[in-house]
Structure 1
């Protein structure tokens, strides 16, 4: 029996709002053609891996990415609200430049001091961390020794990788950058010790990244 649990964490492919630099959060926009290609490249690179389970954020951009990566693999995709992006309230659908102008302090905290980020009607980074971490722990406990793919969003990827890396919340935006359809890989041993193998990897890209 394989006692190592392999976890793949993936950000969704590029979306139309990524290209326009709009804040998405719980709102959604379709994958671009390039975003579809990114997901295909990642799926191709994982084709020889024995993926046992696929989880996806319930947002359509993540679900679509998961479907493309899965390809013809006969594995159900399990949607989870816990892996949705941070709820950004009134920011959603606005451009980053617009948000920066209307909410300068909150925008600065979002990128430079996430521990202090607090916007009426939105989640805090810690809110997202708690919901995503608890769901991840539940999945790992239930599926020890399996290979698990989770398709989610930038903030969730950053927070969960910070969890494995013992990185403080205030430092989550430090490199690596989480490009669309980038890949993180964590191996969790029988004693629950974890090892980060990949973090924000884009070696499967067949073209240089564009916007987003």
Structure 2
């Protein structure tokens, strides 16, 4: 059996401002680093053979935080980057709406109709993420793998894995920062054990206890 843990990076400065990142990057916030520590603490007693991360700083730093002082190989893979948003990268939501309100709506609601300018559409991003993660699973067969990546990348992989229509990528569950998805793969297929689980987040635990 091959076990895959897959997560999204912690909160970034641009996340808090509603600015599109894509292949671009902004630093983790203090909360973003804390989110990485919460997942690190959740996973500290779980065996992990290897960690793969998007090379984007926000994801790689999150991977380093989760790894902590454990002796686990950490590898960057370009195929795990977020969807390339081209012209939109570094722009806030209002600026994007000024360029095209319809395309802005489609990005968030109808991926099949989203048209990228100098970047990737959802179909291209989904294929890239699925092919990349499938190759990692083949290379590391029989091991326990952690992947640190991005929302659209993660949702695209799950979308293609489950043979879903592309527009379902934007449907719940939303992939919140450092939420944890756990999937077991064997000769008969796969089983999703956890999907975007938030139990380790401090505020989630407080809400549960209240």
TM-score normalised per structure 2: 0.94
Rounded Cα–Cα distance in structure 2 between residues aligned with 1:113 and 1:26: 21
Residue 41 of structure 1 and its aligned partner are, at CA, apart by: 0.3
Note if 1:76 corresponds to 2:73. Answer: yes
Count of residues in correspondence between the two structures: 205
Partner residue of 1:197?
A: 193
Partner residue of 1:137?
A: 134
Secondary structure of residue in 2 paired with 1:207: helix
Partner residue of 2:123?
A: 126
> Does the CA-based 8 Å contact 1:164-1:194 persist in structure 2?
no
Deviations 1:43-70 (A, max 9, x none): 1101111100100001010000000000
Note if 1:166 corresponds to 2:163. Answer: yes
Residue 208 of structure 1 and its aligned partner are, at CA, apart by: 5.0
Aligned-CA RMSD value = 1.3
Structure 1 residue ranges without an equivalent (≥5): none
TM-score normalised per structure 1: 0.93
Aligned runs of 1:95-134 on 2, under 5 Å?
Answer: 95-134=92-131
Q: Match for 1:16 among 13, 19, 23?
A: 13
Partner residue of 1:207?
A: 203
Note if 1:182 corresponds to 2:174. Answer: no
Deviations 1:100-135 (A, max 9, x none): 232112111111210121122010111111111111
Secondary structure of residue in 2 paired with 1:172: helix
> Does the CA-based 8 Å contact 1:88-1:123 persist in structure 2?
yes
Structure 2 residue ranges without an equivalent (≥5): 206-210
> Does the CA-based 8 Å contact 1:164-1:196 persist in structure 2?
no
Rounded Cα–Cα distance in structure 1 between residues aligned with 2:167 and 2:155: 11
